[in-house]
Amino acid sequence: MPDALSCSFCLRTSDEVTRLLAGASAHICDECVAACDAILADPSVAFPTLDGDDEAALLARLAPAASLVEAASTGLDGLVGIVRGRGVSWARIGAALGTSRQAAWERFAER
């Protein structure tokens, strides 16, 4: 089920929620939208956690979480490639990422 769409916040799959709204690179389910509405109406309301989920439910969320990490990494690689293609220095890229020039180069130069 790694190809199933899932909420980028709670990691529930589209089969587990009533609606799943798609953005450019993220999705949010109706349950998380409702939680956000409640938090915006009353900032003392806490965002729901996964504490009540059993091990099977948590294990089922690992693949969607890994897919999100991979998608974010691919997007970051592409963005770094674009700015490098425009001649932006490794020092500026490192500063934008909150790391050193050397660390940015080591992470992205050979991709």
Return all residues near 101 (Cβ < 8 A) that are at least 6 apart. 89, 90, 91, 93, 94
- Residue 88's identity, in one-letter code, is V
Q: What is the per-residue pLDDT for 9?
A: 87
Q: Tokens for 106?
A: 């080591």
Q: What's the distance, CA 50 to chain centroid?
A: 17
Comparing 48 with 111, which gets the higher pLDDT? 48
Q: What is the per-residue pLDDT for 1?
A: 40
Q: What is the per-residue pLDDT for 16?
A: 87
pTM: 0.61
pLDDT digits (tens, 9 = 90+) for 31-75: 999 999 999 999 898 877 888 889 998 898 888 888 888 888 888
Of residues 6, 28, 26, the one with CA closest to residue 15:
6
